[in-house]
Amino acid sequence: MTEAFPVDIGPQYEGDVIRKADLYVEFGGPKAKSKFELVTLNSPAEVEHGRIEVIGPDIFELEEGGSYPLAILIDVAGERLEKETEPVIERRIHMYTNYIQGLYHMNQREDAWVRLSKDAYKMGLKSLRDFGKILIFLYTSELSVIERVAITFITDEKRVQELLPHALEVYHARDERLKGLREEDVDQFYGCVLCQSFAPTHACIITPERLSLCGAINWFDGRAAYQLDPEGPIFEVPKGELLDPVKGEYSGANQVIAERSLGQYNRVYLHSAFEHPHTSCGCFQSICFYIPEVDGFGVVHRDFAGKTPIGASFSTMAGNTGGGRQAEGSLGMALEYMRSPKFLRADGGLYRVMWMPKEIKERYRDVIPENLYDKIATEENATNTDELVEFVDKVGHPWLRGEVELP
Ligand code: SF4
Ligand code: ZN
């Protein structure tokens, strides 16, 4: 079936990483300012099946070694498809792109990142149209509910920038649906092992109050994904018994972690960064890291290029956090998790956070309690732990003053 394509396709390529030395070009990622991927469900009349459009320069027109903007817009139609499956179909971009020999996909939404290898380029993968053809082939052959697919790739920076706000609105609306729904209200959680090709002992546990660490799958998405493809990477997690309401330990989640981590771990605390934290793969949006000097946390996101007060950058820390490990005091997480009423509840929650990049602090202004906002340092206040100690001491951070009561 794959003869019509310039490169081979199959799950055997899933774990292949494309390193700098093998890179032909990349789209998105930290070096490209504008990037996103978005799946939209439309009526069959609106989706011209098989249509692939490239707006902006195509691969063969780009200079080797560069990082370029990219929007991947996928329109789908199918009688049995529902609006709530959009994020699930969108997350499949990750899985399917990694099925393609010589292509590598990381992250999601507005952090998407695609790399093309020199070998694949030599083999003839020189146009985004070929990438599109393969994606359409995979979507329709793997998910029978998808009847029509059309794909638009945009590499024109200005166009990507123009459309990004709409994508951000859609992501936001998806996250908003969860407001008010609590772990106590549901009988089951969902699990995802899509990242096991890179992180063999990693499994996400997704609850109404803890979305996946990639930020792409919330509880509703998990439910929709399971309904769409019960044999797929997303599965049901029976809650079981609530063993610790503060740390968020459930016997059902423990059992799933034991099975899916191949015996590596047998407990998971959903709302603590200590002892048995959630495993981290590699595509987390941010890292929550413990800073012993202040007995508090820092939060750093993927796009923060500088160094955190502990002297390490996001990418250095990501290496020590990910890979499928439960890394105590270093937790890969979705930024939206900070909106959860159960956010690291056992550890003090937001009141334990002492540093974050200015951009994130501003983006999450509405969730940070008013009496805390000015007490969290940013890169403008502290670039090393000495400065951080001084800052939190000076402002009287409530955690250090003993004003925070743990549940
Ligand atoms: Fe699935 Fe979790 Fe990976 Fe997201 S981070 S794709 S939810 S395993
Ligand atoms: Zn991952």
Verify whether ligand 1 is closer than 6 Å to residue 234 (CB atom). Answer: no
**Ligand 1: centre distance to CA 15 (Å):** 14
Closest atom of ligand 1 relative to the 193 alpha carbon: 8
281 alpha carbon to ligand 2 midpoint, in Å? 4
Structure token digits, residue 365? 């202004």
Q: Give the contacts of 19 (CB within 8 A, at least 6 positions apart).
A: none
- Check whether 2 has a pLDDT greater than 80: no
DSSP 230-272: TTSSEEEEE---EEETTTTEEHHHHHHHHHHTTTS-----TT-
If DSSP codes are grouped into helix, strand and coil, which group holds residue 87?
Answer: helix
Specify the pTM.
Answer: 0.88
Shortest-distance atom of ligand 1 to CA 213: 5
More confident: 184 or 178: 184
Residue nearest to atom 6 of ligand 1 (CA): 194
Indicate whether residue 217 lines ligand 1 (CB < 6 A): yes
Confidence of residue 257 (pLDDT cuts 50, 70, 90): very high
Q: Are 212 and 281 in contact, with CB atoms under 8 Å apart?
A: no
Q: How far is the CA of 43 from the centre of ligand 1 (A)?
A: 29
Q: What is the pLDDT of residues 206-223, one digit of tens each?
A: 999 999 999 999 999 999
* Cβ–Cβ under 8 Å, residues 193 and 214: no
* Amino acid, res. 75: D
pLDDT above 70: percentage of residues in the chain: 99
Q: Would the CB of 167 count as within 6 Å of ligand 1?
A: no
User: Please, which residues have CB less than 5 A from ligand 2, an ion?
Assistant: 195, 281, 283
- Domains of the chain as residue ranges with CATH: 11-176 (3.30.1650.10), 183-395 (3.40.970.20)
Question: Can you spell out the DSSP letters for 163-215?
Answer: HHHHHHHHHHHHHHTTTT--GGG-SEEEEE-GGGGTSTT--EEEBTTB--TTS
Condensed to tens digits (0 to 9), the pLDDT of residues 321-344 reads: 999 999 999 999 999 999 999 999
**Across residues 345-358, what is the average pLDDT?**
98
Q: Which atom of ligand 1 is nearest to the CA of 234?
A: 1
Q: How far is it, in rounded angstroms, from Cα 156 to Cα 58? A: 10
User: Do β-strands 286-291 and 330-333 pair in parallel, antiparallel, or remain unpaired?
Assistant: antiparallel
For residues 4-26, give the mean pLDDT: 94
Atom of ligand 1 nearest to the CA of 206: 7
Q: Which burial class, exposed, middle or buried, applies to 191 when counting CB atoms under 10 A from its CB (0-12, 13-18, 19+)?
A: buried
For the stretch 50-97, pLDDT in tens is 999 999 999 999 999 999 999 999 999 999 999 989 999 999 999 999
Q: Which residues, 6+ apart, have CB-to-CB distance to 398 below 8 Å?
A: 351, 371, 372, 375, 404
Which residue has the least CA distance to atom 4 on ligand 1?
214
pLDDT at 378 over 70: yes
What is the tens place of the pLDDT at every residue in 114-142?
999 999 999 999 999 999 999 999 999 99
Pocket test of ligand 1: the residue of 113, 212, 285 to mutate, having most ligand atoms within 8 Å of its CB, is 212
Interval between CA 120 and ligand 2 midpoint (Å): 24
Q: Return the residue whose CA atom lies nearest to atom 3 of ligand 1.
A: 195
Calculate helix-pair angle for 128-142, 86-99, nearest 10 degrees.
120
Q: Residues 263-277: pLDDT tens digits?
A: 999 999 999 999 999
403 CB contacts (<8 Å, ≥6 apart)? none
The pLDDT value given to residue 179: 87
- Atom index in ligand 1 nearest the CA of residue 217 equals 7
Is residue 298's pLDDT more than 60? yes
Instruction: For residue 266, give every residue at least 6 positions away whose Cβ sits within 8 Å of its Cβ, in sequence order, or none.
Output: 254, 257, 258
- pLDDT higher than 60, residue 236: yes
Ligand 1 pocket, residue 106 CB under 6 Å: no
- What's the pLDDT at 178? 87
pLDDT average, residue stretch 355-375: 97
Q: Which of 337, 328, 373 is nearest to 354 (CA)?
A: 373
pLDDT for residue 3: 57
Cβ–ligand 1 distance for 214 under 6 Å, the answer yes
How does pLDDT run across 103-112, given as a tens digit for each residue? Answer: 999 999 999 9
CB-ligand 1 contact for 192 (6 Å cutoff): yes
Whether 216 is in the pocket of ligand 1, judged by its Cβ within 6 Å, is yes
Of 214, 237, 284, 321, the residue with max ligand 1 atoms within 8 A of its CB, to mutate for a pocket test, comes to: 214
Spatial contact of 219 and 181, defined as CB atoms under 8 Å apart: yes
CA dihedral 279, 281, 283, 288 (to 10 degrees): 40
Cα–ligand 1 centroid distance for 69 (angstroms): 24
CB atoms within 10 A of CB 366: 6
pLDDT of residue 1: 44
The pick from 195, 202, 280, 287 for probing ligand 1's pocket by mutation, whose C-beta has the most ligand atoms within 8 angstroms, reads: 195
Q: Is 194 in the pocket of ligand 1 (CB under 6 A)?
A: yes
